[in-house]
Amino acid sequence: MCYNKDGEVKMAIIDGKELRKKKLEELKERIKGTKKQLGLAVVQVGHDEASNVYIKQKEKLALELGYYFIHKNFEENVTQEELIKELNILNNDDKVDGIIVQMPLPHHLDASVIQNTISPLKDVDGLTYVNAGKLIQNVDGLVPCTPKGIIDLLDEHEIALEGTNVVVIGRSILVGKPIANLLVNRNATVVLCHSKTKNIAEITKNADIIIVAVGKKHYLTADMVKKDAVVIDVGINRENGKLYGDADFDNLKDICSYITPVPGGVGPMTVYELMNNVHLAYTLRKKK
């Protein structure tokens, strides 16, 4: 069973839209204290439709916050050398505080090399080896946006993390691995499950909190979850023009103490966390 900090069990749908609105107001106040216009650069290769939508969302919020925004779009046949050259230009541009490379990249480009070309101080996706290492060692750095959003959602609802049993399903470098590390840093006991894990349902049934990020519609079903558990659904699955999560929301919402919907749960927090990371990156660079 999962409790808030007062030892009470509560049942609620976690609204990411409301928390994003609240957090954006707080961020706007922090931005007022900066001595320069914050800058975000997005580097894209190709013209993937989903990527175009995500970049538009980032641009809209960045401009709303008064950020300087650059969108560099390269054709799919761009060479790795050309892309690295552009990233180094952005690394040395004082107008730019944060850089992201929109995924996925074409197969001829080495995503790891590209990501690690970004200066760790401007790595607002938190994917460089330097920032991944800082997360493991629990020192200040830039953390991937979706995991940060999950932690903020849990904290907002005063869901206790210390001493709880948490199961993370999915081991991606963008969500699964970093959220597992963030939770361990908060003294939770974490089991990280993946496609090779046997008898996942037996593991999830003992979890106080389940975070599912596998990209499979309704993967997490009611028979895999104990009563009053917390379910955080990171999945976005499109089917016939409609969005579905990785959790079977309709059959889980009356079992769980808390659950995030799709859409409207974790998603709205991710873009906010990106903008917050831009401000954090500026702050960390000032310290350097």
Angle, in degrees to the nearest 10, between helices 267-287 and 16-31? 20
How many Å apart are CA 274 and CA 145, to the nearest integer?
A: 6
Can you tell me which residue has the tokens 């013209």?
47
125 is catalytic: yes
Distance CA 1, CA 26 (A): 32
23, 58, 148, 177: the active-site residue: 58
Instruction: Say which of 97, 123, 125, 248 is annotated catalytic.
Output: 125
Task: Specify whether the CB–CB gap between 251 and 221 falls below 8 A.
Answer: yes
Reply yes or no on whether 17 is catalytic.
Answer: no
The strand pair at 237-239 and 230-233 is best described as unpaired
Active-site choice (23, 44, 97, 102)? 102
Amino acid occupying residue 195: S
Active site residue 58: yes
243, containing H or E segment = strand 242-244
Give the residue numbers marked as catalytic: 58, 102, 125
